[in-house]
Each structure stands twice: as structure tokens, then as C-alpha cells.
Amino acid sequence: MTAPQSAVMEFLLTRRSRPAKLLHAPVPDRAALRPILTAAARTPDHGKLVPWRFIVLEKPTLTKLAALTTDLAQARDLPEDQTAKAVSQYADADLVVAVIAAPQPSEKVPALEQTLSAGAVCLALLNAALASGWGANWLSGWTSHDPEFTARGLGLEPSEFVAGMIHIGTCTTPPPDRPRPDIDAITDWRDA
């Protein structure tokens, strides 16, 4: 057994995402973001396929994505509240890291395992940002799953998809707490 990392366990037991609408500038610059991305990239990756990548979306790009979202929502005749929520995800953000699932052909590593690895990258990125003192939140929304948005706005290939949009910034307001799962209700102990 390795030495316990009690500070890490305490962080994991008390971590809380910050609502994206409470995040604002300043945001990490490239030098501050690099170790956060590096930590996220240490996610388990069976076969060393690296079935994910990052797209760092800074304010000018986020403004363009908000406009694209408006155009696509109008073309799809989406309800105003759904449109406003999706547009604000980009218009109100100062920094978002899009985690892109990029499955690789493999006879040994099923696509599902590669997708799970991309999801693990999202959580690792979220936790690394929080551990670095930033506020962070993992979002998706309809634009993340819209083929036209992902192709035009993010330049994704048809085989790629958004695993998560990780918003990162400064949050001066304490995040609200929320109920957590009852471990006894979701755990089945089997000893025989």
C-alpha cells in the first residue's frame, strides 16, 4: 500500500462544482491552464490510444459560438428559453475547455471504453481546475450533441463528439450544496 494522501481525500470528499453562471474573469492563462490539462490527460487510457483531445475556447471564440447557437436555434425553431440558456453558456463564459471524444480504431479497446476514458478526462479536468483554486463546472447542452454546431463551431470530424464543456473561471460566491447519494442505497457488498 502506498502512503495515504489525506489532503487529496479531503479535497475529493468535499469538492463542489461552481455554477457556470457564477464564473467570471479572471480565468487561467495558458501557463496556468497547461498543468490542469496535463493532470486531466493522466486519465486511464487502455491501450494508450488517447481517444480524446482538448479545444480551449477563449472569449472571442465563445462570442462566435454564441452567435452560431442563436442562428441554429432560430433555424430549428427552438423555444426561446431553450435558446437563451444555450446562448448564455457561451456568451457569458470567459473560458471553456471542450473535451472531445475522438475514438481510435482498435481491436483490443472497445469504443465504449474509449468513451468512458473521455468522460474520466472531463472529471479529471474539473477536479484539477478546482484543486488549482479556480471555479469550474462540467456542462453539455443541445449544442454539444448537434452535428452542425460541432462541425461548424468546433471543427469536429464525424467520428468525434463533445464529451463535456468544462467552464473555468473565478467564483467569489460559495457554491450551493446539494444532496449526495446514499452510499448504502447504491452499494451492494458481495463477499461470497
Residues of each annotated binding site for FMN:
15-17, 42, 46, 138-140
Helix axes 30-40, 111-131, angle to 10 degrees: 140
How many angstroms separate the CA atoms of 46 and 113, rounded?
8
What are the binding residues?
15-17, 42, 46, 138-140
The C-alpha atoms of residue 192 and residue 186 are separated, in whole angstroms, by: 19
Signed CA dihedral, 151, 155, 157, 161: sign only: negative
Please list the alpha-helical segments (H only) found in 76-158: 80-91, 111-131, 147-154
